[in-house]
A and B are shown apart, each in its own frame.
Chain A
Amino acid sequence: MACLLGAAATLVQAGAKIEQWATPAGARVVFVESRVVPILDVQVDFAAGGAYAPADKTGLAGLTRSLLDMGAGGLDEEKIADRLADIGARLGGGADLDRASISLRSLSSPREREAALELMRLVLQQPAFPAAVLDREKARTIAGIRESDTRPASIAAKRFFAALYPEHPYGRSATVESVERITREDVAAFYRAHYGARRAVISIIGDLSRAEAEEIARRLTEGLPDAPAEVSLPETAMPARNTVRVDHPATQAHIHLGLPAVRRGDPDYIPLLVGNYILGGGGFVSRLMKEVREKRGYAYSVYSYFQPQKQPGPFQVGLQTKREQARDALKVVEDVLADFLARGPSEEELGAARRNLADGFPLRIDSNRKLLEYLAVIGFYNLPLSYLDDFPRKVEAVTVADIRAAFARHVKPEHFVTVIVAGD
């Protein structure tokens, strides 16, 4: 119980009472007042990630996001960059499978804060998508794709997603051809269709009041395009068990193994997380690390994780090993996995995992930066506001039977996909 009190105290100490409301335009807001450091973080997440791009225009979501701050509201990209630099503010973000994000970090002093938020407002509401900038960014993106298509790690990651989701947008990645095809009208249309307030979640944390946060959220969302609320993504299908081998001259084989596994908000997520800590998520104390690295010296890095998304995101095991021993290393991984699926963890392992995850919970939220990412996920995926408060208690309640049952439901070997790049 001590740890539970500790966690609750953390939230109180950091002022981390999570509040939620909707703006008049229909965007959801998640807010934490935190007065410890004179800074402000704002992140806006839209349902505008890669999964929403047309199949023949992969790369469109990322390009649209990256062009937002390259000309907006009558300012060209140089002026935007200068104004940010003048006040020491930083704009960041990007696009993943589900989300396109724009984040702002600023000093909370009034002059800096107001100037920074006004820039963010212009970037969100009045992006210009200049044709010349689009051409340049397309060229840079294509150069990046050509380069990454020579790198074993990138090749392995792309092949893995393609094999997991052969018919689903999650399996697609940008190609030279798809990016070449993208026009300015595609970008503008994608923006108009996906950057609406009803598809947006605004996460705010920092040195400001609820009233100030309400005003900021209202201003940031009132002039967004009138886009329809989100349409759900297509269902994923389970792949048949298969192995993909890709030739490459690298000295190390890059190996991925996994399957589509779990949605955000799935009640099984906590037992999966606790189980995976034991299997391959707990760093040096995980089974995979012990068997593959510590006992045999097969790899520097070996891990497993669940990546929950709107539709079932991957469970993934990964490692890199000298190409000559790829088969042996993979065999060890498969044996560890099979044993874990068959028997689950021991009570001792479970106790250690619960202690680490529950007692170490304050480490997950001991900075505004870390808390902001949780707020964004809670808001975007409609998780309960009590998610963080509940986390240690739910972890403590997980049993060996829960883990076995959750893995049996979500990690079925008949759907395992294995990708080996540069293995002998």
Chain B
Amino acid sequence: MTRRLLFGRLYFAALALSATAALANPVEKTLANGLRVIVQEDRRAPTAVHMVWYRAGSMDEVDGTSGVAHVLEHMMFKGTKHLKPGEFNKRVAAAGGRDNAFTSLDYTAYFQQVPAKRLGDMMALEADRMANLVLGAKEFEQEIKVVMEERRLRTEDNPQALVHERQMAAAFQAHPYRRPIIGWMNDLENMTAADARDWYRRWYAPNNAYVIVVGDVNKEEVFRLAEKHYGKIPRRALPGRKPQIEPGQIGIKRLVVKAPAKLPYLSMVWKVPALRDLNKEREPYALEVLAAVFDGHEGARFARNLVRGAQVAVSAGAGYEATVRGEALFSVDGTPAEGKTVADLEAALRAEIARVATEGVSAEEIERVKTQTIAAQVYKRDSMMAQAMEIGRLEAAGVRWRDIDTLLEKIRSVTAEEVQAVAKKYFSDASLTVAVLDPQPLPEGAAQKSVSAVRH
């Protein structure tokens, strides 16, 4: 039910900030209750994507109920005053549609892909659960077990996910990004239906949400439908949000995660600025280009120098997401090649950063990053879902869809000097957190020995 969006690994989502240029012409309207409706007409096929985004993600949780944003996302399919549990999915399916939802650090979002003529039915369903959710104890009891299974699948038995979870918890001590989206297991074990109910009452209001529609629709008709279905839900006062800014890090942090695996793994994250003012700031754009110079395409530096050249890694990557509600990290990671250690890989990754800081990057490299950015924008127009996701993610971070072209222009204006400058400025040990997977052998005989039996 949930595709959890991991922080810091979404290079294209970050850089590919959208070419609304030719085809794209979103329009928006705000209903009297504060719900914003954003529509992009795309007439290529008789289908549409309908999304509802709530500005409530795991960063809005408090200690003791980590994971509740995501648990509520699951409970949103479990019945309303008008619909029995499971009925939501049934109705979407009956309309020929598919639906799902996802929770991130910054937001929770729900979507349906349907034949365009069924858009009104989808709005009726989403509006109903925006206002009328029933959080029954029995349904909660079953669903919390599902979420614990999800945690086992995604995190407990996934060594690299464990590394990322523990690394975030170490990198941030005050900022809520320290808590995992899926929640700590003990918090899940002790969560109650009342916790989920509180969360719903607190954040699920039209004035904390926005609707995105992309597809074979008429914008005026969409606004009319939105007014009809969402317009009557009353606006509610929202809780204040505390900044919870992380105090400046004052020294390197290192941690080790031991888990069953064969290959070690290394992840390094530095605290760097997020994008807050589109027009005044320059460094976030330069950091985006830096990430792409390292890992933006097959010919980028990490693949070329570390995987193919020095062969110190079997894989290596870099990531930075500028448009986030909370704090930003620049991450580099990788798996050492046979005969190399995580220390070798760490030295090699550091050397790549140092080389940009001392020697800069070439005009050609910068040009390639810009070409990738433009091409990615054109390719995105092949997918209604991708267009809706782009608008949704940016809006979650407080960037308006109107500014998508501005962001793109800014990326294209980044100079080699600016890239070198951020490489010099932001990669000191003082703001670094290094996490290492120390692979543990499987117990004697495990995964090798098997018993085969004929059943009767």
Chain A residues at the B interface, C-beta cutoff of 8 Å: 3, 6, 9-10, 13-14, 36-39, 77-78, 81-82, 84-89, 105, 107, 136, 139-140, 142-144, 146-147, 149-150, 152, 155, 159, 163, 240-252, 282-285, 290, 293-301, 320-322, 352, 355-356, 358-363, 365-369, 418, 421
Given the interface pairs A249-B260, A283-B98, A285-B89, the reply to whether A244 lies near B337 with Cβ below 8 Å is: no
CB 8 Å contact bits of B101-144 with A (1 = contact, 0 = none): 00000000000011100000000000000000000000001111
Residues from chain B with a CB closer than 8 A to the CB of A355 are 93-94, 96
**Set B86, B262, B384, B452: member contacting A242, Cβ < 8 A:** B452
CA separation between A163 and B450, bound complex, in Å?
A: 12
Nearest residue (CB) in B for A77 is: B308
B142 and A294 form a contact (CB under 8 A): yes
Tell me which of B189-197, B344-352, B416-424, B441-449 binds A.
Answer: B441-449
Known: A78-B299, A246-B447. A252 touches B157 (CB 8 A): yes
Beyond A87-B371, A150-B261, A249-B442, list 12 extra A-B contacts (CB 8 Å): A3-B96, A13-B45, A140-B307, A140-B337, A244-B450, A244-B451, A245-B452, A251-B152, A252-B149, A300-B147, A359-B95, A366-B44
A77 / chain B contacts, CB cutoff of 8 Å: 308
CB of A192, distance to nearest CB on chain B (Å): 26
A240 / chain B contacts, CB cutoff of 8 Å:
454
In the complex, what residues of B have CB within 8 A of residue A241's CB?
454-455
Contact of A247 among B145, B261, B300, B449 (CB under 8 A): B449
Is there an interface contact between B372 and A88, defined as CB atoms closer than 8 Å?
yes
Are A320 and B297 interface neighbours, CB within 8 A? no
Q: Report Cα–Cα, A368/B383, bound state, in Å.
A: 8
Residue B277 is within 8 A (CB to CB) of chain A in the complex: no
Inter-subunit contact A247/B304 (CB<8 Å) = no
The SS class assigned to the B binding surface is mixed
Q: Which residue of chain B has its CB nearest to the CB of A11?
A: B45
Binds A, one of B224-232, B237-245, B374-382: B374-382
Name which of B1, B147, B260, B382 has the most chain A CB atoms within 10 A of its CB: B382
**Does residue B453 face the partner (Cβ distance < 8 Å to A)?**
yes
Least CB separation from B90: chain A residue? A285
Partner of A252, one of B44, B45, B98, B153: B153
In this complex, the member of A152, A290, A294, A363 whose beta carbon has the largest number of chain B beta carbons within 10 angstroms is: A363
Contact pick for A136, options B96, B308, B439, CB 8 Å? B308
Shortest Cβ distance from B367 into A: residue: A86
Tell me whether A363 and B115 are in contact in the complex, defined as CB-CB below 8 angstroms, given that A89-B375, A143-B263, A242-B452 are known contacts. Answer: yes
The answer to whether B451 and A369 have CB atoms under 8 Å apart is no
Which chain B residues border A283 with CB–CB below 8 Å?
A: 89, 93, 98
Chain A residues contacting B178 (CB-CB under 8 Å) are none
Residue B172 CB within 8 A of the other chain: no
Say yes or no: B97 contacts A363, CB within 8 Å: yes
Whether the pair A300, B149 counts as a contact (CB closer than 8 A) is yes
Measured CA separation A159–B314 after assembly (Å): 25
B311 contacts chain A at the CB level, 8 A cutoff: yes
* A85 in contact with B371 (CB, 8 Å): yes
A13-B45, A294-B86 given; A81·B450 CB < 8 A: no
Most chain A beta-carbon contacts within 10 A, residue among B44, B142, B147, B260:
B44
Contacts of A247 in B (CB 8 A): 443, 445-447, 449-450
User: Shortest beta-carbon distance, B350 to chain A, in Å?
Assistant: 22
Interface residues of B in 367-406 (CB under 8 A from A): 367-368, 371-372, 374-376, 378-379, 381-384
**Pairs A–B under 8 Å by Cβ, sample size 25:** A37-B378, A78-B299, A78-B308, A84-B298, A84-B299, A88-B376, A107-B378, A143-B263, A150-B262, A159-B450, A247-B443, A247-B445, A249-B260, A250-B156, A251-B152, A283-B89, A296-B142, A297-B141, A322-B148, A322-B152, A352-B90, A355-B96, A360-B96, A366-B45, A367-B383
In the bound complex, do residue A320 and residue B298 qualify as a contact, i.e. CB atoms below 8 Å apart?
no
Interface residue B335 (Cβ < 8 Å from any Cβ of A): yes
Known interface pairs A136-B311, A140-B314, A147-B263; A368-B152 also in contact (CB < 8 Å): no
* Residues of B with C-beta under 8 A to A13: 43-46
Min CB–CB distance B122 → chain A (angstroms): 13
Question: In the complex, are the beta carbons of B149 and A37 less than 8 A apart?
Answer: no
Most buried by B among A9, A298, A360: A360
Indicate if the CB atoms of B368 and A86 lie closer than 8 Å: yes
Residue B146, interface by CB 8 Å: yes
Q: How far is the CA of A143 from the CA of B263 in the complex (A)?
A: 8
Q: B446: which of A249, A285, A352, A361 is its contact (CB, 8 Å)?
A: A249
How far is A355 from B95 in the complex, measured between Cα atoms in Å?
Answer: 7
B261 touches A321 (CB 8 A): no
| Across-interface contacts of B368 in A (CB, < 8 A) | 82, 85-86
